[in-house]
Structure 1
């Protein structure tokens, strides 16, 4: 079967499984799935079909493979197919895209380690058929090694199917901005953003290698079939640039626009900035519901620089929204309706205002005093993300409980742990405290990329615990209302976590049943499908699914907040809690109690500012957006979305 015919059939399959729509804006075929699990299984099915077809033809199947978080679920599904359905990899030859340089194979951060952990150790592929760039090649031999790697691909007939992820710089493999259209396998210097994105895996950006070996753009483009995976909001902007933008070395993934058999497989978050998703009224006719109307009017305000009540008919007509205007009758009616909707999200009473008409308020007035359960994935997300609302709930007399879902121990640096251990030794009444001395020695002698001992992890967990208690006491919460769940999925000692298990859900269900909350607050960050915030949210969702038949759940509302990096869009917000300048300062002080997470925190991402700075900036900008829409002028605003279960 010719490649173009095969691609057509694959497109049909993806259209059946996902959401595909061709528009004049898009230059690369893409399919959108409701979540990364479904998308990954569909991709795994295509790979399996290719392997089986090649087996029937008596041919080898050459796969180009990627690393990172994006393909993990694809590999999990392929392993499942091998174990449960007998899918054999005996005819498969693989070539990996890249490897850090220098990097030893035994290093847990190496892509050699990654591929064997996630795929090769669990299937029947022949070891001699596995090819991963060697990160230990001597520097004076590296150029010739890259030429040989390229030749091996060619000698095996080229790559039948190339799996790709995409970095926020638009890199594929490690082809960073500036990479040439005809580049081949070579060494390359990594972009700062690429290194920052990898920092969490290396426990800090200083530990991330500055160079790598990568297949080139030309190498990738020679593949007969290319599938690029992208999951989460943090990939949405680069996906838009790649699919809709001009071909440019500044965004190397745009070179794929010239490949005739490429599909981008996306989840809804990664696709959220595409024109047909983000602003569908610019593409064609829309079915206007309340959600889309709200999004469009807020967008129109931002585009025109006008407040809601200043929009006129011409603004709607000139920006693809004439059909919305026709449905409502006039801009005046539309504007009033939208202004009232946004205004009604604002409340200084996040637990509901006593003895008040709550018809147009985001929260119920009854019961007057609510039991509130705030879930915090890490031991500082509560104050970073909703410290002002937290303070309001306490001062307004609600029974506030905090549940820290994980210990957060791996985010404590060794030098921070050493400081506490040495203080403990000096304070110890024992002349020879063997336990603490051993602890200090374990920290001092720890080698790079080695998982902490259980004792050191316990110390780091205690540091986070005591910092949390200092912050909650400062905000007026009694210690008995502070709960440290230490969910087992997190307690691996390394970056890679275990899947959610029965014990995790059991712990979550118990705390909810014990407290019987009227309100639950939880982190709604969905950017990383494998991140701790996402897993912690899934733990809540699974628990609520189990408990929803309980009578107390009939009176329980769930509010989602976002973390230090993002905020809800204005049209998404169901409750906006304004903060005075004094409350902004109080929130800052609460964050300061988490001293181990200040001054060069390990999991900082690409934003070098401290968490309190990010939080204040985010809250201030949300308030500014409300002001620009013509509403009241506040110092800062924390935002929440209600989740209906």
Structure 2
């Protein structure tokens, strides 16, 4: 990591040809942690510079999951490097309306918890739109907010995130370039994305107070950040697309000092990342050749083996033909690579030549450990493969990493309590507890955290469903491990950072089972971040085993699955497991065992479909893409990418 005093966003410039599709300066970092570090450094450098000049540093601040690590670093700089915020004035972008400042959903509370309570800023220098005003007071309040910004000389650095609709602040599609701070109505997509924070879309406010696009554009410097695969499509539109009101972030192309700061995943749809052969000469390695050939095949709607020299030449890949020799050679190589990813034996086929297969033939049977971040991710994302592993005689274990208790509707608890009340009529102590829980739920306010008892009951509901799915799939109940990792157990959408205890629980299970293969969720577009944390925990536990020199872990294959929120790209898949119609039906039945998530999940994300519908369609789409590339036709497929130890 860089020293605090360095200029963090200074980079060796890329050549103009490489950036010819990009209309906003764009900086790509390996991960959001490094990207956040550099943004925090620029802010800290500004604060120090203004202090030396005896001036105020005026910051425009954002909320949401994107800037939280930036705030963590600023707090760290204050505590460890003595960075003072006494000369800092802040203006927040927005606030829900109506919203009480002390609500768990308010941005006042968010900013206090993430930043202001931990630094030496003067409270009089903090400005956050007031969501508790009457509607009649808002117009004057917004005019005053604009005036306050002007009175301190304007915003020096404005920090932004980007919404899935391309909104900045709460400036939804249709916002004017010249709009100022005002009351707005929230787009349904924005409300749907916020539903998890409010425990249901029906609890999300329909309006908000927001700085306008014009207000933002008057900032002297703008840094807009985006993390994760889920933001990649809208980032590409904002950076490379035409300026239009339907994507407000495209207005930033007009700004003279605006930078997009991305992690690798959020940059994945940019032309120079996704199809680099369209912008510059490439160093053609095996992976890039495979990616390019698949892209060309799908673009032209031709099977891989039908691509011609002219096809490659006309789509920016003439240098590849010149290097390799002919389209036929490229096509056959890529076709064979794709063919070798397909296997009906995810645990390895015994007594077979495994030199061209994704998994080893021996040992057989294997101990297979499937990590499931939530109690249903295993069957949603790789239910067909799980069934295949069981059917082929492997010793399958499932580790449910979190309880999933916040994703259970209150009515489910009441339904189970009704059953338990009838069964335990003579148990006065339980009857008393049941009455207390029902009383709490009857008076519970929207978005209010559950009591510990309710959290426990909801966790038990999901545990029972997971066990039912295991039984249906043929996994012995004793092979179901409920880890209940502590980072998750807050009762709120916001979780604690992963801890040593989380890693130790995972390390102990790995050491106990010593699996031959591990399956883990690489579905990192999970909007709540749980999948990402769960994967980090697994990697840290594996790294500890590697550091200790455990021989078994070096011989263990780690396969990453997706399916709940997204799917691997075909070019990335290293194992594709076909699923026939019968097994597809079995997979769906296993998902149905999770009755509390059926019909309407608590946190559906931005996809209206039920999880079984998403999984079925993604699996069928994967099979269809393989078929269109010239592979054999299958009903459905689940794809995996192997994680390779360094």
Look up the match of 1:404.
400
**Secondary structure at 1:451's aligned position in 2?**
coil
1:282-293 residue pairs with structure 2 within 5 A? 282-293=278-289
Say if 2:626 is the partner of 1:630: no
1:413-434, CA deviations, whole angstroms, 9 ceiling, x for partnerless residues?
A: 1111111112111211416421
Aligned length: 637
Shift of 1:210: 1.0
- 1:544-569 superposed Cα distances (whole Å, 9 cap, x missing partner): 10012201112200000013121000
Q: Which residue of 2 aligns with 1:99?
A: 95
d(CA) in 2 for partners of 1:431 and 1:469? 26
CA distance in 2, matches of 1:104, 1:448: 13
Structural RMSD (CA): 1.6
User: Does structure 1 conserve the Cα–Cα contact (< 8 Å) formed by 2:8 and 2:41?
Assistant: no
Counterparts of 1:626 and 1:219, CA distance in 2: 49
Q: How is 1:130-529 mapped onto 2 (pairs within 5 angstroms)?
A: 130-430=126-426, 432=428, 433-527=431-525
- Aligned-pair CA distance for 1:141: 1.6
Confirm or deny that 1:24 pairs with 2:13: no
Please report how far the alpha carbon of residue 51 of structure 1 lies from its aligned counterpart in structure 2 after TM superposition: 0.4
TM-superposed CA distance for 1:316, in Å, is 0.2
More deviation, 372-381/141-150 = 141-150
In 2, the alpha carbon distance for the partners of 1:190 and 1:16 equals 40
What is the CA–CA distance in structure 2 between the aligned matches of 1:317 and 1:638, rounded to whole Å? 33
Q: In structure 1, the residue corresponding to 2:341 is in which secondary structure?
A: coil
| TM-score with structure 2 setting the length | 0.97
Please list every run of at least 4 consecutive aligned residues from structure 1 whose deviation after the TM superposition is greater than 4 angstroms: 9-12, 16-22
CA shift for structure 1 position 449: 2.4
Summarize deviations over 1:499-522 as a string: whole Å, max 9, x none.
Answer: 010100000000000000000000
Asked whether 1:610 is paired with 2:610, we answer: yes
| CA displacement at 1:445 relative to structure 2 | 2.1
Q: Distance in 2 between matches of 1:117 and 1:593?
A: 39
Decide whether aligned partners of structure 1 residues 540 and 302 sit closer, same or farther in structure 2, where only a CA change above 3 A counts.
same
Which of 125, 128, 136 is the equivalent residue of 1:129?
125
Residue 642 of structure 2 is matched in structure 1 by 642
1:450 positional shift: 2.0
- 1:452-480 Cα distance to aligned partner (Å, 9 max, x none): 11111110000000000000000111111
Point out where structure 1 has 5 or more consecutive residues left out of the alignment: 1-8
Query: Which moves more between the two structures, 321-330 or 460-469?
Result: 321-330
Contact (CA 8 Å) 1:177, 1:252: kept in 2 or not? yes
Mapping of residues 537-556 of structure 1, within 5 Å: 537-548=535-546, 549-556=549-556
Give 1:527 shift.
2.6
- Counterpart Cα distance in 1 of 2:490 and 2:393: 38
Give the counterpart of 1:64 among 52, 55, 60: 60
Q: Distance in 1 between matches of 2:162 and 2:434?
A: 45
Q: Structure 2: state its 5+ residue gaps.
A: none
Q: Go from structure 1 to structure 2 and tell me whether the alpha carbon gap of 1:16 and 1:490 turns closer, same or farther (over 3 Å shift).
A: farther
Contact 1:101 1:210 in 2 (8 A): yes
Contact 1:232 1:528 in 2 (8 A): no
| Structure 2 CA distance for partners of 1:103 and 1:21, relative to 1, 3 Å | farther
Paired residue secondary structure (1:15): coil
Q: Is the 8 A contact 2:523 2:564 kept in 1?
A: no
Q: How much does 1:448 deviate?
A: 2.5
Q: Distance in 2 between matches of 1:451 and 1:631?
A: 51
More displaced stretch, 587-596 vs 530-539: 530-539
State yes or no: 1:581 paired with 2:581. yes
2:199–2:446: 8 Å Cα contact kept in structure 1?
Answer: no
Q: Is the 8 A contact 1:23 1:276 kept in 2?
A: yes
Q: What is the Cα deviation at residue 332 of structure 1?
A: 0.7
- TM-aligned CA deviation for residue 119 of structure 1: 0.3
Aligned to 1:6: none
Q: Secondary structure in 2 aligned to 1:498?
A: coil
Distance, in Å, in 1 between the alignment partners of 2:61 and 2:610 is: 36
Cα gap change, 1:380 to 1:520, in 2 (>3 Å)? same
Q: Take 1:605 and 1:23, find their aligned partners in 2: how far apart are those partners?
A: 33
Q: Paired residue for 2:109?
A: 113
SS of 1:637's equivalent in the other structure is strand
Is contact 1:519-1:557 (8 Å) kept?
Answer: yes
Distance 2:408 2:15 in 1: 42
The answer as to whether partners of 2:373 and 2:530 remain within 8 angstroms in 1 is yes
The CA distance in 1 between the partners of 2:627 and 2:177, in whole Å, is 46
- Whole-angstrom distance in 2 between the partners of 1:612 and 1:184: 44
Aligned-partner Cα distance in 2 for 1:19–1:596: 53
Distance 2:91 2:26 in 1: 24
